[in-house]
Amino acid sequence: MATQKISRTGVVTVGLFLVLAVFAVKLFSIQIIDHDKYVSVAEQMQTSKFTINPERGQIYTRDQNGELTPLVLNQTVYTIFADPSQVKNPGKIRDVIKKNVPDKMIESNLTDKKLNNKENQYLVLARQVTRDQVKKIQEEDLAGLGFQPTTQRAYPEGNLAAQILGFVNTDGEGQYGVEGFFDDELTGKPGLLQSVTDVRRIPLMIGTDDVSIPAQNGADYILTIDRSIQSQAEVILKNGLERAGTKSGSIIVMNPQNGKILSMANYPTYNPAEFSEVVDITNFQNRTTSYAFEPGSVMKTLTTGMALDAGVITPNTIYHNTGCVQIDDAQICNASRQVDGRDMTATQILQWSLNTGVVWELQQIGNGDITKQARQTMFEYFANRYRFSQKTGIEQAGEARSSLFSPDDVQGGRVRYANMTFGQGMAVTMVQFTAAFSAAINGGTYYQPTLIDGVVDHKGKEKTLEPNILAQNIISEKSSRELKEMIYQARQDNQPGKDKGYYIGSKTGTAQIYDDATGKYALNRTTGTAIGFTADKDKVPQYVIMVRVDDYPEEGAYAGSRAAQPIFDELNNYIIQYRGFSK
Amino acid sequence: MSRRSNDVGRSEPFLHNLAKVFKVGPKLDLGRKHRPDYILVVLIAILSVIGLVTLFSIAPAVTAGDGMNEFMWRQGMFLVASILAFVIASRIPLDFWRRFGVMIFMIALIMCLLLPIMGWLKIPPAFCTKGACRWYNFGSFGFQPAEFLKFGMILLTSGFLAVRVALGEINSWQKTLLPACAMLMISLFVIVIMQKDLGTGVALVAIFLMQLVIAGVEWSNLLWIVSCIVVLGVGSILIAPHRLARMSTFMGQGNDTADYHIDQAMIALGSGGFSGRGLGQSVQSFGYLPEAIHDSIFAIVGEIFGFIGLVVLLLIFAALLKRIIDKIDFTENVYLRLVAAGVFGWLAAHIIMNIGAMIQILPLTGITLPLVSFGGTSMLFIMASLGLVFAISHYTIHRKVSEVKGVSYADSLGGRRVGRSYYANRSGR
């Protein structure tokens, strides 16, 4: 006892140092050997990625003074929900909701039973509640109520230009119209925030691999639409169709001097704020761009333009009207037989809308016959000059393709081409036809039809889009002037004195509708069309209006003159007044 | 077992001797006072600075940006209080501790016993969570009497065992070992069963065993005592669910909370790598690692200063502990040797249990890393106990006691002054 043989402190010291040595070895293993493993585990756990949602671009148009008027805005609305596990006074909640948002509440969820179900933590009481309404409800200070903000599209002009605008579906995707066509641009680019965060996911200033990409908000678009003309066109179209007893139709108004669309009206229409309630999805479609149809006799204007430009006729070239013409196995006759056997000028062919007359014009190109060469010339004009072989590129989702047979096609024979001279046996969209017609009467310049006047990018920089000329001299300037004059003259001769000195030219058409079921043209269903321009005192066309009336039920060739023409005239009169034209 | 008692030639009754030791006994024969061990102070200072630097590096994380001033002020108060505890403990004459050791222990024990009673009666300062009452709450400061009890335990057993050594009855089961074990059991009952604080219990056992080792209890007797404690320890783990969970975590199959704690500590250490992420770069302190400024500070030091930093930290701990061992080796007085041994056991237990848990070698018990874990009652009493060691360092001799011819443990109580010539006069030892 007195003297230790083995030092006890020595034993303890050795033991202690051994333990600390083991610790050091283990630390080496954790911090050196497994360092990379723990670094990646740490990164995964400590680093968070946050997506910053961009704001969707808004859609505007200009008013008469050039000021921006919103057509589509973003709006924050709230979903009011209850957390029944926190609800104290279900009766008060029900009263407050019923008082403040009777039109937006979900009444079936406002029962005592559901509000008292302590198992549940989320019960939707009302949707689409505005900020002001939420404020009022919040003032009641009710336990267990929550408010969830969401962004949705708002339409200050209601139904106006619904098909042009399109809508944003519940997944946030743009559908139809401008929303569909410019979905990516309107959406913008989401931002990314990658950062080391604390345990509650609050970003820290620590770490070198932080990523911070701000969200790029979507671009705002300014449409070429004239709010007044659009609004009036929609009313006139609806009334006109009702008078004619048809269910659907469209109007397009375009400035032939720059391709800007002033209006695209469709009926039936819908309310984009309530897109989910639409049953028939054709209501969503802008049928001035998404629907290709046989335009009928309005095509005679462009056939005449071709004949003038090809140099085979002048406005006063005489055609002897035979009433009917035999092409191979098909007999083509005129709708109006009052002027059979008379000599007619080329202008009168338009005035009387003589099918045989325009067939004759085509035959003149082939030196009296619809030769392959004549057909090739016509195809060149229709496909490449009037650009019926391609989409116009109008800024609308789902632009339809036209249907045009080349002379090399089995289907592109003499009868087909004879029919094409008066707008049958081929299909185009209204925007295609209007753009081609505009080019034919404006001196021969084909402007790309466009709905976009300007773009405001995410930096707030506004860019005004210049008119895009796709082709010049599609017909010569002289041919264009002559054609314009012929169309004007034909209208004046048909309705003397009606236009009170204004320089207006127009042409109607009635197209038989090909019935896919029977494989024949139906006799009692026709498409009525009307196209025309109004020029200023210098005879410079200011706008072109085209009207289409679907499924006109009367037999005979009256859809154009009885259904489409009145709509054309009514809208034209409005625009003349609205624009304050001088004669 | 007490066959050597006759060597000393004394046979006063037990009670008489106790009275002699604690009340009326002669003053401790300390020998000549010399320059103390300032290296001890330097090591303590370095550890505190490491703790402070780490603490302020992660202060923005643990205060969540606001309340920084209050946090700093609080830590400053802790620092001042700890330094005061060290200074006061080192200035009080060593004989005071010997005389009043029993009383100090009794005060601590009563504070521990009152805690659950007050907690049960919901009397304010007592603070209970999860069915355990461990704290007195005084405003923003808490007081944990268990730490005080460890301090008192060192004084109590040192005094008792010193008498038994003096009487040559250190290996007597009847007179020494069973009574000593009974003192331990009372403390353990209060700490482990009532306060459900296994970590403090382990520290108490370590203090006790270290003192028995230094007192010269035969290895075979020690083995018996250790065996009994292990059996009791396993029993206490089996009856307390949260301890079982911590054990199963350690065994690799279990409870989410403790699993999470250790996983986060390992991520902090591992991502620190060789040289650490650097000051102000700790991420784990931002809510990932629980108890970042207290029990888990080791992992944060590892995250900030890396493997290098932790090896340095381990070396400083080793140096500090070796310094305390030296006090045992170079102090003649048995009472003082046992006090130093108790302090050594305390610190070693905390260091090993704390670090061992962080590196997944030992189960998580939730005790502090001495001097580095900042604040709290633990720091206060650890500093006080180191103050005692510092006081003892005034009276070391030149050669190891075991090498000093003729020195027996009994001599420290006796009047003979064998080996006077070996008292140090300059050395820090």
Written as six digits, the tokens of A538 are 């210098």
- Per-residue pLDDT band for B241 (boundaries 50, 70, 90) equals low
B71 touches chain A (CB under 8 A): no
Classify residue A122 as exposed, middle or buried by CB count within 10 Å of its CB (0-12, 13-18, 19+): exposed
Kindly state the average pLDDT of the residues A183-204. Answer: 86
Residue with the bigger pLDDT between B24 and A443: it is: A443
| Predicted local confidence at residue B20, as pLDDT | 52
B329 touches chain A (CB under 8 A): yes
Q: Round to whole Å and give the CA distance between A192 and A528.
A: 54
Written as six digits, the tokens of B146 are 């268990």
Angle at the Cα of B99 from the Cα atoms of B399 and B94, rounded to 5 degrees: 40
Written as six digits, the tokens of B67 are 């309340």
| Predicted local confidence at residue B411, as pLDDT | 39
HEC per residue, A89-111: CHHHHHHHHHHHCCCCECHHHCC
How far apart, in Å, are the Cα atoms of A45 and each of A196, B255, B289, B427? 9, 20, 12, 53
**B401 with B331: CB under 8 angstroms?**
yes
The string of pLDDT tens digits covering residues B64-98 is 656 777 777 888 888 899 999 999 999 999 989 98
Looking at the DSSP bridge assignments, the partners of residue A452 are A223
- Per-residue pLDDT band for A421 (boundaries 50, 70, 90) equals very high
- Per-residue pLDDT band for B239 (boundaries 50, 70, 90) equals confident
Written as six digits, the tokens of B168 are 């040559």
Written as six digits, the tokens of B184 are 């331990």
Q: Round to whole Å and give the CA distance between A59 and A20.
A: 72
How far apart, in Å, are the Cα atoms of A418 and each of A275, A331, A411, A425, A470? 44, 10, 12, 9, 28
Written as six digits, the tokens of B397 are 């001799």
Written as six digits, the tokens of A430 are 């209204």
Judged by CB atoms closer than 8 Å, whether chains meet at A207 and B329 is answered as: no
Judged by CB atoms closer than 8 Å, whether chains meet at B270 and A41 is answered as: yes
| Predicted local confidence at residue B402, as pLDDT | 64
CA quadruple A364, A365, A366, A370: dihedral sign: negative
Residue with the bigger pLDDT between B374 and A393: it is: A393
**CA-atom Rg of chain B in angstroms:** 22
Whether B110 shows a pLDDT value over 70: the answer reads yes
Strands (E), A328-402: 330-333, 343-345
Whether B11 shows a pLDDT value over 60: the answer reads no
| Predicted local confidence at residue B251, as pLDDT | 58
- For residue A107, the tally of other CB atoms under 10 A from its CB is 12
Residue with the bigger pLDDT between A80 and B10: it is: A80
Residue with tokens 């049928």: A287
A205 touches chain B (CB under 8 A): no
First to last CA, chain B: 34
Substitution target from A31, A208, A210 for chain B, most B beta carbons within 10 A: A31
| Mean pLDDT value across chain A | 90
**For A422, phi and psi rounded to 5 degrees?**
-115, 30
Q: Collect all residues of chain B within an 8 Å Cβ-Cβ radius of residue A24.
A: 311, 314
| pTM more than 0.80 | no
Q: Round to whole Å and give the CA distance between A199 and B312.
A: 30
A18 touches chain B (CB under 8 A): no
| Predicted local confidence at residue A500, as pLDDT | 85
Most confident range (mean pLDDT) of A204-213, B21-30, B408-417 is A204-213
Whether B152 shows a pLDDT value over 90: the answer reads yes
- Report the largest interatomic distance among the alpha carbons of chain B, rounded to a whole angstrom: 68
Judged by CB atoms closer than 8 Å, whether chains meet at A42 and B170 is answered as: no
A226-271+288-579 has CATH 3.40.710.10 classification: yes
Looking at the DSSP bridge assignments, the partners of residue A146 are A81
The string of pLDDT tens digits covering residues A478-490 is 999 999 999 999 9
| Mean pLDDT value across chain B | 82
**A498 with A530: CB under 8 angstroms?**
no
What is the DSSP pairing of strand A469-471 with strand A446-447? antiparallel
Q: Round to whole Å and give the CA distance between B268 and B351.
A: 18
CB nearest to B274's CB, from A1, A32, A42: A32
Q: Collect all residues of chain B within an 8 Å Cβ-Cβ radius of residue A20.
A: 314, 317-318
Q: Please tell me chain B's helix, strand, coil percentages from 3-state DSSP, rounded to the nearest 5.
A: 65, 5, 30
| Predicted local confidence at residue A218, as pLDDT | 92
| Predicted local confidence at residue B17, as pLDDT | 54
| Predicted local confidence at residue A581, as pLDDT | 74
| Predicted local confidence at residue B427, as pLDDT | 43
Whether B416 shows a pLDDT value over 60: the answer reads no
| Predicted local confidence at residue A1, as pLDDT | 43
| Predicted local confidence at residue B12, as pLDDT | 45
Q: Please tell me chain A's helix, strand, coil percentages from 3-state DSSP, rounded to the nearest 5.
A: 35, 25, 35
DSSP one-letter string for B219-232: HHHHHHHHHHHHHH
Contact residues, B window 10-29, toward A, CB-based 8 Å cutoff: none
B286 touches chain A (CB under 8 A): yes
What is the DSSP pairing of strand B126-129 with strand B132-138? antiparallel
Strands (E), A38-173: 47-52, 59-62, 68-82, 123-129, 145-154, 167-168
Kindly state the average pLDDT of the residues B331-348. Answer: 94
User: Could you give the residue range(s) of every CATH 3.40.710.10 domain in chain A?
Assistant: 226-271+288-579
Kindly state the average pLDDT of the residues A121-146. Answer: 85
Q: At what angle do helices B334-358 and B145-166 cross, to 10 degrees?
A: 140
**For A523, phi and psi rounded to 5 degrees?**
-85, -35
Residues 6+ apart with CB under 8 A from B168: A1, B2, B4, B5, B6, B7, B8, B10, B410
Q: Round to whole Å and give the CA distance between B373 and B70.
A: 18
| Predicted local confidence at residue B405, as pLDDT | 41
Among A172-186, A248-262, B226-240, B269-283, where is mean pLDDT lowest? B226-240
The string of pLDDT tens digits covering residues B388-398 is 999 999 998 88
Among A278-282, A334-338, B25-29, B222-226, where is mean pLDDT lowest? B25-29
Q: Round to whole Å and give the CA distance between A567 and B2.
A: 128
A39 touches chain B (CB under 8 A): yes
Judged by CB atoms closer than 8 Å, whether chains meet at A38 and B271 is answered as: yes
| Predicted local confidence at residue B238, as pLDDT | 77
Classify residue B27 as exposed, middle or buried by CB count within 10 Å of its CB (0-12, 13-18, 19+): exposed
A17 touches chain B (CB under 8 A): yes
Whether B2 shows a pLDDT value over 70: the answer reads no
**A359 with A327: CB under 8 angstroms?**
yes
First to last CA, chain A: 134
B266 touches chain A (CB under 8 A): yes
Among A76-80, B251-255, B397-401, where is mean pLDDT lowest? B251-255
Q: Collect all residues of chain A within an 8 Å Cβ-Cβ radius of residue B214.
A: 8-9
Whether A74 shows a pLDDT value over 60: the answer reads yes
| Predicted local confidence at residue A449, as pLDDT | 96
Substitution target from B402, B404, B409 for chain A, most A beta carbons within 10 A: B402
Residues 6+ apart with CB under 8 A from B378: B144, B147, B350, B367, B368, B370
The string of pLDDT tens digits covering residues A217-258 is 999 999 999 999 999 999 999 999 999 999 999 999 999 999
Most confident range (mean pLDDT) of A355-369, A546-560, B275-289 is A355-369
B302 touches chain A (CB under 8 A): yes
Strands (E), A371-468: 446-447, 452-456, 462-464
Tell me which residue of B382, B326, B380, B377 sits closest to B351, measured CA to CA.
B382
**Percent of chain B scoring above 90 in pLDDT:** 43
Q: Round to whole Å and give the CA distance between B162 and A249.
A: 113
Q: Collect all residues of chain B within an 8 Å Cβ-Cβ radius of residue A16.
A: 318, 321, 348
Contact residues, B window 45-64, toward A, CB-based 8 Å cutoff: 61
Q: Is the peptide bond before B145 cis (omega within 30 degrees of 0)?
A: no
Kindly state the average pLDDT of the residues A64-72. Answer: 86
Residues 6+ apart with CB under 8 A from B368: B294, B295, B350, B354, B376, B378, B379
How far apart, in Å, are the Cα atoms of A112 and each of A95, A129, A145? 12, 22, 15
CA quadruple A568, A569, A575, A581: dihedral sign: positive
Q: Round to whole Å and give the CA distance between B94 and B394.
A: 11
Classify residue A317 as exposed, middle or buried by CB count within 10 Å of its CB (0-12, 13-18, 19+): middle
The nearest alpha carbon in chain A to B306 belongs to: A31
Most confident range (mean pLDDT) of A98-102, B71-75, B130-134 is A98-102
**B205 with B142: CB under 8 angstroms?**
no
DSSP A541: E
Helix (H) or strand (E) holding A252: strand A249-254
- Per-residue pLDDT band for B236 (boundaries 50, 70, 90) equals confident
Whether B14 shows a pLDDT value over 60: the answer reads no
| Predicted local confidence at residue A472, as pLDDT | 94
Residue with tokens 């609004």: A231
Contact residues, B window 383-402, toward A, CB-based 8 Å cutoff: 400, 402
| Predicted local confidence at residue A130, as pLDDT | 86
Residues 6+ apart with CB under 8 A from B119: B126, B127, B128, B133
**CA-atom Rg of chain A in angstroms:** 35
Size of interface A-B (CB pairs under 8 A): 121
| Predicted local confidence at residue B397, as pLDDT | 86
| Predicted local confidence at residue B243, as pLDDT | 65
